[in-house]
A = this chain, B = another copy of it.
Amino acid sequence: MTDRTPGTRSSSGYSAWRLIAEELRAEIGDGRLRAGDRLPTEAALAERFSVNRHTARQATATLAEDGLVESRRGSGTYVTGEAMRLHRIGVRTRLTKSLGEKASASGNLRVLNSAVEDAPTDIARRLALDGGKAVRIETTRSAGGQQISMSTHWFDVSRLPDIATVLRRTGSVTSALRESGVDDYVRTSTVVGARHATASEVAVLDLGQGAIVLVTEGLDSLTDGTPLQHVVTRFAAQRVRLDIEHPRAD
């Protein structure tokens, strides 16, 4: 990108301004550009990425739409702030506590829909399902007026037949499980990946097309090892980072 020779138009499926915008977003995200800093001028960006000034402008305009930078005529374009949320992932993921740095009240769970159906074979195996039937629940989580994540939960229907109803009422997985007779459970496995958001994720999470989602796939179990919940969560990567809890050194 930086040294893309004019003829070597890469045809990557990304417009030039989008690539520039994401490059700048990365610099803001990892601290090379901090809140209050002035971006390079439009002319400098155009020079650096070997594009016309209009193309560079479109890049900063997109970042401005996202509220990441602010352009001031006659002066320059400035970084407004990062505003990244931290989501804790640990043994006991008390969700209602982990969202938002300041308060415990943040993080609103909403049940979109639920159904009892045959689980995909790999999920059925992970949950050690007998009959193969499972409760699938789709939820979203928001905080501070922003969509944070969306999840697909799978429970054994023979073990937790009413979990969807209870979850809809309580708005918390931990509470719903407690009401269903599960006093304690732990996260036994988590795998994290990242990919582009699908069309439905773009819609539900209120993202731009082509945005990125962090995908976590987790298994919660009773303390004796009995599998309880298989849950896949997609976080809006531009708003959330995952804070991994490590066990105490001893």
Contact = CB atoms under 8 A, between A and B. Distances in A.
Contacts of A29: 193, 195, 215
Contacts of A166: none
Interface stretch (A103-111, A173-181, A236-244): A236-244
A12 B244 contact: no
A133 interface: no
A247 B247 contact: yes
A31 B214 contact: no
A75 interface: no
A189 B197 CA distance: 27
A168 to B, nearest CB: 25
B194 A194 contact: yes
Contacts of A202: 1
A86 to B, nearest CB: 7
A26 B196 contact: yes
Most buried by B among A10, A23, A188, A202: A23
Contact of A191 (B2, B90, B188, B241): B241
Interface residues of A, number: 64
A83 interface: no
A209 B25 CA distance: 15
A149 to B, nearest CB: 13
Interface string A20-64: 011101110111000000000000000000000000000000100
A6 to B, nearest CB: 16
A199 interface: yes
A23 B213 CA distance: 12
A210 interface: yes
Interface in A51-94: 62, 84, 86, 89-91
B13 A186 contact: no
A232 B12 CA distance: 27
Interface in A157-203: 186-200, 202
14 contacts: A1-B202, A13-B14, A13-B17, A13-B21, A14-B18, A19-B210, A22-B195, A26-B197, A29-B215, A84-B193, A91-B247, A190-B243, A193-B241, A194-B194
Given A2-B200, A91-B246, A190-B243, 12 more contacts: A1-B199, A13-B15, A22-B210, A23-B196, A31-B122, A187-B246, A190-B244, A191-B241, A192-B242, A193-B214, A194-B213, A223-B249
